């Protein structure tokens, strides 16, 4: 769901319109092209055909996820509550489940209202309500560009986003004192409303006081510090480097990769086949590779890093290594960097098929 919110913020800021115009070819088509033969070679080696790629999810949903979400849509809030609470103090997993529940709640909240009525002090229900309220605001605003959005839509959007802050504060009040998730849920609101650096710093302090190593919190903060929001390239890269250095082995090595991508996407004159070979980017790629190799394969966060590694290794001409990452994520591509293009599928297939063919010919 965060992806939908970020997409909406990009629209309202005009940033997505810029990316669409510059990356109409899927992003990866600049200065190198995959042929039809490349695509056939990839499929012959077991990679998914383009038409079978899932652009909504970055990794497969587990059977427990599918069962819980189906039960919730059928009105069984107890199943949703149990599923979310089963994440325990794995905060990255807890926020993922809260956000998965918020999406159907934004469409039909009857089950959530029943949950809140039965358990008015339930912190999980309050968190789902808070996150759903943000998505409702974006639904009211719509997905059109600013010039095609009415003033009434804008007024209602700002009214609902402001009201969502009250829901956030209630969720924060009800939460376990150790739980950073309700504060993390406020991060997209901070971008939408343009929190000052001081105000965002206060929010960030609440998060890291509870847990300084949550990947989802750091990737959310990186967005805030990007130039397209409230920061600059220098601030974003500095934040990313501090995050990665401060928590070795926690997959925060993903942060510099995101920061470098943000810079590349915003600079139309950059040649990515040169840019991604900069020594500092190669070093950051190697650090992320080491983190992934040492991580628990069952850790869902690893997939997020693999998607970015595939992209970087592709541009660094490290095709055999890139193919290892593509094989690990293939089939589910609803993740950065593919979703940063107007056509995520085209961007992914271009990079994957080109890498596969070159890896085969290099052997």
Query: What DSSP line would sit under 40-104, residue for residue?
Result: HHHHHTTPPPGGG-BSS-SSPPPHHHHHHHHHHHTT-HHHHHHHHHTTTT-HHHHHHHHHHHHHH
Q: How big is the chain, counted in residues?
A: 363
Q: How far is CA 81 from CA 94, 114, 177, in A?
A: 11, 12, 19
Q: What pLDDT is attached to residue 28? A: 46
Q: What pLDDT is attached to residue 6? A: 44
CA dist., res. 23 & res. 347, Å (int): 9
CA dist., res. 351 & res. 276, Å (int): 14
Average pLDDT, consecutive stretches of 10 residues, N- to C-terminus, the chain (363 residues): 44 39 44 72 92 95 95 98 98 97 95 98 98 83 52 67 88 98 95 93 98 97 94 97 89 98 93 97 97 94 98 98 97 96 95 93 72
Q: What pLDDT is attached to residue 325? A: 98
- Region for residue 111 given its phi and psi (left: phi exceeds 0; alpha: psi -120 to 50; beta: otherwise): alpha
Structural contact between residues 251 and 306, judged by C-beta atoms closer than 8 angstroms: no
Structural contact between residues 341 and 23, judged by C-beta atoms closer than 8 angstroms: yes
Provide φ and ψ at 239, rounded to 5°.
Answer: -60, -45
Q: What pLDDT is attached to residue 150? A: 62
Provide φ and ψ at 90, rounded to 5°.
Answer: -80, 95
Structural contact between residues 146 and 136, judged by C-beta atoms closer than 8 angstroms: no
Q: Euclidean distance between the first and final Cα of the chain, in Å? A: 41
């Amino acid at each position: 769901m965060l992806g939908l919110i970020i997409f909406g913020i990009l629209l309202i800021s005009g940033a997505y319109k810029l990316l669409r115009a510059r990356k109409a070819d899927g992003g990866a088509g600049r200065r190198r092209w995959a042929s039809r033969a490349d695509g056939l070679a990839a499929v012959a080696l077991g990679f998914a055909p383009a038409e079978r790629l899932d652009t909504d999810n970055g990794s497969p949903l587990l059977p427990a996820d599918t069962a819980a979400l189906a039960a919730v849509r059928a009105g069984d809030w107890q199943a949703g509550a149990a599923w979310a609470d089963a994440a325990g103090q794995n905060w990255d997993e807890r926020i993922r489940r809260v956000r998965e529940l918020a999406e159907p709640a934004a469409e039909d909240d009857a089950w959530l209202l029943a949950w809140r009525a039965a358990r008015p002090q339930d912190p999980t229900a309050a968190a789902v309500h808070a996150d759903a309220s943000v998505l409702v605001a974006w639904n009211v605003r719509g997905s059109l560009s600013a010039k095609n959005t009415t003033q009434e839509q804008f007024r209602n959007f700002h009214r609902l986003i402001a009201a969502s802050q009250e829901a956030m504060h209630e969720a924060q009040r009800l939460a376990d004192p150790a739980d950073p998730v309700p504060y993390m849920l406020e991060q997209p609101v901070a971008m939408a409303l343009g929190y000052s650096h001081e105000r965002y710093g206060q929010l960030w302090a609440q998060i890291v006081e509870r847990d300084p190593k949550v990947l989802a919190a750091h990737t959310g903060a990186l967005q805030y510090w990007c130039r397209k929001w409230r920061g600059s390239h220098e601030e974003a890269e500095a934040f990313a480097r501090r995050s990665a250095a401060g928590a070795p082995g926690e997959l925060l090595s993903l942060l510099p990769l995101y920061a470098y991508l943000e810079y590349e996407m915003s600079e139309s004159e950059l040649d990515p086949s040169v840019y991604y070979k900069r020594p500092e980017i190669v070093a950051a790629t190697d650090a992320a590779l080491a983190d992934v190799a040492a991580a628990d394969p069952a850790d869902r966060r690893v997939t997020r890093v693999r998607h970015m590694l595939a992209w970087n290794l592709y541009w660094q001409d490290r095709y055999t290594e890139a193919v290892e990452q593509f094989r690990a994520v293939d089939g589910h591509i609803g993740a950065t960097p593919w979703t940063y293009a107007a056509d995520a599928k085209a961007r992914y297939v271009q990079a994957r098929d080109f890498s596969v063919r070159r890896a085969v010919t290099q052997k």
